Amino acid sequence: MSMGVVIVTGGTFGLGQSITVELARRGHQVVAFGLAQAQVSSTAQGFDSLMAALDGAGCKADVLEADVSSAADVQRVVDHTVGKYGAIDGLVNNAAIGPLGTVLTTDEPTFEHIVDVNLKGTYLMSRAALPHMIRGGGGSIVNIGSGAGWGKPNMAAYSASKGAIVALSAAMAYDHFHDHVRVNVAIPGGGGIVSGMSVGRMGGDLEAFKSRQAPGTAAGRPATGRDLANAVAFLLSDDAAAISGTVIDVGCFAHQGGPVPPTH
């Protein structure tokens, strides 16, 4: 899929924006969508920052406002993409919200909202895109996971939704093996990677977030959105033609109990 048509959910801000810009920079036709207003636990605001980042990279993308938890909105994005470009080759399910809380401190509407966006949104988007991928002879889906998918403190509902993404991805990889649709998970490592969600959880204080003691990565620095985007681009590419049903952890072994503590 050298120059494919790729939909990126939650592709307008934070890590999703990094993915949108990097894929567009590499020559993909990207259709990114998200919500213009900030979501719970995130610092996301509008689409201006994405437009500026695309301009800075000298590339373009289609940017739509849509809610991944709405089947009608998702269908509208798919209709736009297929109507304009005639195909869907890749899908990056990145949209997510991450309010903190235990089972006791998470109210029912918050629990339902997290599952609606993080899990149902991935299902709805995949369900709408898969027929077009299959009709086109195959494709690649990359679901953005989290180290919380194996359980982390004070992230009960978020962890549950992200653990479900790992299982859903493996099931989809089996189901669509013979359709030549590959399904993989990419996990942004917890070594200080700056995302709208992680900063939002610290009250939106970017400097406080950056000054925390973070173990970083084997590269000797915290991971960036572009590090994640590079792994996503690989999983979408023909270089990964034989790879499905797996997890790539970008950063610091978040799916194996990491990150590694910093040395002092």
Which CATH number do you get for residue 56?
A: 3.40.50.720
What does the DSSP 8-state code read for residue 105? T
With beta carbons less than 8 A apart as the criterion, state whether 231 and 185 touch. no
Whole-number pLDDT of residue 194: 58
Q: pTM surpassing 0.85?
A: yes
Which residue range is the domain that position 71 belongs to?
Answer: 5-252
Average per-residue pLDDT in the chain? 89
In angstroms, rounded to a whole number, what is the distance separating the alpha carbons of residues 165 and 79? 25
User: Residue 133: inside a domain, yes or no?
Assistant: yes
Residue 260 located in a structural domain:
no
**Sign of the CA dihedral 190, 115, 63, 204?**
negative
- 189-217 per-position pLDDT tens digit: 765 555 556 555 556 555 654 556 667 78
Q: What is the pLDDT of residue 219?
A: 86
Mean pLDDT of the region 166-185: 98
At residue 18 the predicted structure's pLDDT band, cuts being 50, 70 and 90, is very high
**Is the separation of the CB atoms in 144 and 92 below 8 Å?**
yes
Query: Among the listed ranges 32-36, 133-137, 175-179, 240-244, which one has the minimum average pLDDT value?
Result: 32-36
Query: Token digits for 37?
Result: 């207003």
**258 assigned to some structural domain:** no
**Spatial contact of 108 and 52, defined as CB atoms under 8 Å apart:** no
CA 52/CA 246 separation, integer angstroms: 34
Give a yes or no: residue 259 inside a domain: no
Catalytic-role residue among 85, 123, 158, 174: 158
Domains: count for the chain? 1
Is residue 261 domain-resident? Answer: no
Distance CA 202, CA 194 (A): 11
Q: What is the tens place of the pLDDT at every residue in 111-124?
A: 999 999 999 999 99
| Active site annotation includes 158 | yes
